[in-house]
A and B are shown apart, each in its own frame.
Chain A
Amino acid sequence: MTGLKQKVGNYPGVTVERKIGTAYSQHGQPMTVIDLPGAYSLAARSPDEAVTRDVLLGRRADTQMPDRVVCIVDASNLERNLYLVHQILDLGRPVILVINMMDVAAASGLKIRIGRLEKQLGIPVIATQASRGQGVIELKLAMSRPDLPLPKHRWDIPAAISSAVAELQASLQDSDGKPPLIARAEALLLLTDQDPVRVSGSQPLSQRTAQILATWKKRWEDEGTDWSAMLVGARYEIIGELAADATEQSATTVTQNASDRIDAVVTHGIGGWLVLGAIMTTLFLSIFTLAEYPMDLIDSLVAALSDSVKNHMPPGDLRDLITDGAIAGVGGVVIFLPQILILFFFVGLLESTGYMARAAFIMDRLMSRVGLNGRSFIPLLSSYACAIPGIMATRTIENPKDRLVTILVAPFMSCSARLPVYLLMIAALVPSGDVPIMTKVGLMLLMYALGTFGAFGFAWVFKRTLLRGEPSLMIMELPPYRLPRIKDVFMQMLERGGLFLKRAGTIILGISIILWFLTAYPKAGPEASPGEQIAQSFAGQAGHFIEPVIKPLGFNWEIGIGLISSFAAREVFVSATSVVFNVEEDEENTAPLLAALHEATWPDGRQLFTPLVCLTLMVFYVFAMQCVSTVAVVKRETNSWRWPLFQIGYQTGFAWLLCLAIYQTGTALGY
């Protein structure tokens, strides 16, 4: 409606942040629309739901309490959806109830009497079929009505808890300054909120209210009163009556609907794995093959841009800054955009059909072995392409500890930026022609497997030590399969891709400029060769500085520069190495670089890139945290510096120890 394309949450918790946009009424009046994440209840269980709750209760300082609420529910699942509507009606705000997907309900023989609902609730009820744009005009008209009626809905709070509700309501009015109806709704909510999820930006309760709440809970516990069951039960009783009155199920009961038939295959003991395997194979194949052409195109565009700057500007530091710093750095990231778009397209497609919930359902048992949840599967899978969208995808995980563990281990999944490093090292390790191609493929698979096992291993460790807690829940709705709307999938893909570009791009630009500066200054002198310049530069000094630390792993200071610059993005290792080893970079042919690597030696004449060193270096790249964009995203998602710093520490520390073990053992064995 606002032109901001939002999607139907077919996978729980997909829309995460509230989105604000302006829509125009039929009369051209602007209306501010806040889209709140899909919630099941105002008793929040996930950050998503907490945002919804806090906005509706006016607990957030940054968002004004909405003056009207539009509840969109699924016609085929009316009863369950009315629970949230019922909670919202308690707020005493004007509410418009939208019943969407009337066609789906009709297909299953369910008839909804809109008029009855309208009469019972006293609010406008609008039937829509959003996929065909039906009912949208009626909705807009209702939204712009100045005289929206207040819901005339009353329900009796169970007698056993009514005095507590009254007392809490009074306290919320007096001590927290809430209007009466909101205070009543919040009082009811406080009684079902077992462990309220807090999100930053929401106002805490006054001490007096908290005190009253604790006293009542204590008393009921002693008496054995199951207050929350009473409350929920009473609500469902009314909803049951409402739904029974407003719906009519035709006598012809459908024996097995299409979703059940699909699920019989997709979640079948053998068929389920085959389907999952086929989908994942298609996903990876598309990422690697379909992306090739646009990636080449971007590569040549970046090169052309760089060349044109070189032709139009006099040589000097400013030109180098633009070409070697800004363009090369940003280009190195933008080149992964096609792969990321393809991944997002698939993720969007799988989400909007409803398959994603099935994947979580199938994988849950395996994931639970290491203490993770089936919902961690997709974020970890996405991390094979890039950890950034993977970490952003963890928002679908309800349990904060599960989410954190998934974020902490996601960077172990070998992302596409490691691919160039693996390719170079494998080429240096096994000269082509000498060995069968399967050796190379095997080495590559070994690296992917190492990262994957590392991720699961560390998840297991974290769930038992640092982030121990209640085992996570797998209570999740399996929505009916739907035909995806390709337009929505595309819009979503572009939106997410744009976010990736914006977030990763700004940081990469900054870091690239810093890195360029570090390799270009201080100047070694006008006659210095690029190699001498590098050795002299801050980056070179840093390489020398860390040499004592990395020498036990078989790395020298030149490799150290590569390691340090990899912090901007891992694939920078390849270009950094070619600069350091004094080779003109040649995109089509890495042979000169390979030759230089084979000739590189320690000061005492020993060969630097022995097979053992190549292997150790690859293992280092599997485990070490070397991606500034990931650090930035983790900082953003966890809202503190603590976790990203911890991640750098433990990942890099583990990489160092493992590489030390490999190199020292290998050396001792005479490799």
Chain B
Amino acid sequence: MVEPIALSQLTVGSSATLHSFPKTGAAFLRLREMGLLPGTALKLVRTAPLGDPLEIKFRGYNLTLRKTEADHVMVTTGPTP
């Protein structure tokens, strides 16, 4: 079992699987409704020129979120469980 790391720690261009994020908070409900759920495969596409926000790709589309949120989004790298 690979230890989950924060999405913000992921290197640009690498893929990961969503592990978990906080239950409460408007940001996380929104992410969930956009289809980011535990088990969803995602890729960190790039960061903005100033390093924040991040751009991720999952379910075939691209989404931005800030580092402050990405710090709480836990992902696992390596083979999908």
Contacts and interface: CB of A to CB of B under 8 A. Distances in A.
Nearest to B38: A233
Interface in B11-65: 23-24, 26-27, 29-35, 37-38, 45-46, 48-53, 55, 59-65
Interface string A253-274: 0000001100100011110110
A577 interface: no
Contact of A226 (B23, B51, B59, B63): B23
Contacts of B65: 473-475
Contacts of A273: 49
B72 interface: no
A361 B32 contact: no
Give the interface size class of chain B: 20 to 34
Given A473-B66, A474-B64, A477-B61, A269 B49 contact: yes
A80 B68 contact: no
B62 A365 contact: no
Interface residues of A, number: 46
A377 to B, nearest CB: 12
A175 interface: no
Given A83-B35, A365-B53, A475 B61 contact: no
Interface stretch (A40-48, A536-544, A584-592, A612-620): A40-48
Contact of A471 (B51, B59, B64, B68): B68
Contact of A192 (B29, B37, B50): B29
Contacts of B48: 267, 272, 361-362, 364-365
A366 interface: yes
Contacts of B38: 233
Contacts of B69: 473, 475
A270 B68 CA distance: 24
B64 A236 contact: no
Contacts of A78: 60
A229 interface: yes
A192 B49 contact: no
A478 B60 contact: no
A475 B30 contact: yes
Given A79-B60, A364-B52, A475 B31 contact: yes
Interface string A459-477: 0000000000011011111
A374 B33 CA distance: 22
Contact of B35 (A45, A236, A470): A236
Contacts, number: 117
B68 to A, nearest CB: 7
A364 B53 contact: yes
A41 B36 CA distance: 14
Contacts of A366: 50
Interface in A362-401: 362, 364-366, 368, 374
A40 B68 CA distance: 22
Contact of A76 (B49, B51, B52, B60): B60
B5 to A, nearest CB: 20
B49 A368 contact: no
B64 A361 contact: yes
A474 B30 CA distance: 11
A434 interface: no
Contact of A478 (B23, B27, B29, B55): B55
A352 B46 CA distance: 23
A232 interface: yes
B35 A473 contact: no
B59 A79 contact: yes
Contacts of A582: none
Interface in A223-237: 226, 228-229, 232-233, 236
B66 to A, nearest CB: 5
Contacts of B31: 475
A475 B29 contact: no
Contacts of B51: 365
Nearest to A105: B60
B50 A365 contact: yes
A472 to B, nearest CB: 9
Contact of B64 (A80, A195, A476): A476
Given A45-B30, A229-B32, A267-B49, A477 B62 contact: yes
Interface in A44-79: 45, 76-79
Nearest to A235: B33
B29 A272 contact: no
Contacts of B52: 364-365, 368
B73 to A, nearest CB: 11
Nearest to B62: A478
Contacts of A477: 34, 61-64
Contacts of A41: 30, 33
Contacts of A362: 48-50
Contacts of B64: 357, 361, 364, 474-478
B49 A232 contact: no
A281 interface: no
B66 A474 contact: yes
23 contacts: A76-B60, A79-B59, A80-B60, A192-B33, A194-B24, A194-B26, A228-B23, A228-B29, A228-B32, A232-B33, A272-B49, A273-B49, A362-B48, A364-B66, A365-B52, A374-B53, A474-B66, A475-B63, A476-B63, A476-B64, A477-B34, A479-B61, A479-B62
Given A357-B64, A368-B52, A476-B64, 9 more contacts: A40-B34, A77-B59, A79-B60, A80-B34, A80-B61, A228-B32, A229-B23, A236-B37, A365-B53
Minimum-distance CB pairs A-B, first 5: A365-B50, A478-B62, A41-B33, A226-B23, A474-B66
